[in-house]
Amino acid sequence: MAPKSAVLARQPARTSGTNVRRVHRPLPADFKNTIAAQRVPAVISGLDIGQAPWTWTPSYLASLDGVPEKLVSVHVSRDPKLDFVRKNFKYVVMPFGELLAKVNDASDDNFYYLRSIGENPRKEPAHALLQFPSFARDLKLPSEFWGSEDNYFSAVVRVSSGDLQLWTHYDAMDNMLIQLHGEKRVLLFPPSVSGDLYLEGSSSVVRDVDDHDRESFPRFARARKAALEVILQPGDVLYIPALWAHHVTALHGPSIALNVFFRHLPTSGYPSKDLYGNADPIAAASALKSINSAIESLKELPLDYRVFYAGVAAARLESELGVESARRALATVNDDTPKSRGMNSRATKGTGVVGTVLSALACLLITRRASRK
């Protein structure tokens, strides 16, 4: 592997502007009735979340009481494109202070990514403000936007080396991603292109979102065209509705963020054992299980039979679940965002039964795997 400086020189971050709606200090009720109700991402700016967007440099965090010595489990890789499916990283446990020094050191040849986990990681999700009480000195969570405290699920600290890319994945909870230091590019894929993301569990197998392998992943181009893009700066809060898959690149230098996962569905709709906010809702997991068993049954038949029955099943899914009309509605909502006019309507317009069969088959191949994102 080439030294980090050479890797970076060959892989400049590509950005093409931003087409995610920005709202400045919305009233919580307005946010709930418009953006959250439409299920579209938005950047909320100007919120009073404390001093953290000004103070939280890596060296400042390392000076806080109880932070530098706390052990954290870090993704470490020589490759800036972290890839969950091919596992091109290892987990290394190190003191938080050491991680903060490493992401600040441009001569370090490794790339580091922390996604903090629970105090008892097999039993509970991360609660960053309880685990790092000194964070509360500078950071106030915008809890007015998740309705009630009962909707809160977890709070996760994210620290990243400059230029590191986090693989495309979806989460099952709604999310407020609070950028606190450095800049970050986030690509957001609407739920309507789930069948074009080549998901394995909650992660996409498409490694390079800017120059993907077109032969292996022919449908990904459609997803990439439909993706929204935003550059986050300190103080920005990105609302990511559940099931909007995302891909994140730290730009220009290290990044520090904290995100809060919160429930959109009633609590009873989620499995009780979810550590990372990415376990599918109970009804969805059960549907995917039935589909896996449908696949096993259809595999007993010759190809023309499989195609026929997959077509019948896909058409039934479309009509009974209102998928086609929902796609049209989503396309209309997405078309409201600047620069996305035409793009999303083209990308999300009905793909017909063939497209649906492909999407359904892609869904059929989904296997849930517990993964950290």
Q: State the pairing for strand pair 152-160/111-115.
A: antiparallel
Query: Toward Fe ion, which CB reaches closer, 75 or 373?
Result: 373
Query: Toward ligand AKG, which CB reaches closer, 82 or 313?
Result: 82
Render the burial of 35-62: b for 16+ CB within 10 Å, e for the rest: bbebbbbbbbeebebbebbebbbbebbb
Taking the complex as a whole, how short is the minimal distance between the CB of residue 177 and Fe ion, in angstroms?
A: 8
Among residue numbers 269 through 288, which ones bind ligand AKG (CB under 6 A)? none
> DSSP assignment, residue 35?
I
Taking the complex as a whole, how short is the minimal distance between the CB of residue 159 and ligand AKG, in angstroms?
A: 8
Among Fe ion, ligand AKG, none, residue 166 binds (CB under 5-8 Å by kind):
ligand AKG
Secondary structure (DSSP) of 228-259: EEEEE-TT-EEEE-TT-EEEEEEEEEEEEEEE
Q: Is 192 helix (H, G, I), strand (E, B) or coil?
A: helix
Number of residues that bind ligand AKG (CB under 6 A): 12
Q: Is 360 helix (H, G, I), strand (E, B) or coil?
A: helix
Task: Please select the residue that binds ligand AKG; options are 158, 212, 264, 327, rule is CB under 6 A.
Answer: 158
Taking the complex as a whole, how short is the minimal distance between the CB of residue 246 and ligand AKG, in angstroms?
A: 6
**Number of helices (H), then strands (E), in the chain:** 13, 13
Please list, in sequence order, all residues whose beta carbon lies within 8 angstroms of the beta carbon of residue 227, skipping any fewer than 6 positions away: 187, 188, 189, 190, 209
The contact mask relative to ligand AKG for 160-199 (x = CB under 6 A, - = no) is x-----x----x---x-x------x---------------
CB 260 within 8 A of CB 141: yes
Taking the complex as a whole, how short is the minimal distance between the CB of residue 256 and ligand AKG, in angstroms?
A: 9
CB 336 within 8 A of CB 345: no
Among residue numbers 7 through 46, which ones bind Fe ion (CB under 5 A)? none
Task: Please select the residue that binds ligand AKG; options are 257, 275, 310, 357, rule is CB under 6 A.
Answer: 257
Tracing tokens 């038949």 back to the chain, one arrives at 301
Query: Toward ligand AKG, which CB reaches closer, 228 or 291?
Result: 228
171 binds Fe ion (CB under 5 A): yes
Structure tokens at 83: 């890839």
Cβ-closest position to ligand AKG: 259
CA distances from 285 to 14, 76, 279, 281 (A): 35, 31, 8, 6
Among Fe ion, ligand AKG, none, residue 4 binds (CB under 5-8 Å by kind):
none
Among Fe ion, ligand AKG, none, residue 257 binds (CB under 5-8 Å by kind):
ligand AKG
Among ligand AKG, Fe ion, none, residue 248 binds (CB under 5-8 Å by kind):
ligand AKG
Residues that bind Fe ion (CB under 5 A): 171, 373
Residues that bind ligand AKG (CB under 6 A): 158, 160, 166, 171, 175, 177, 184, 246, 248, 257, 259, 373
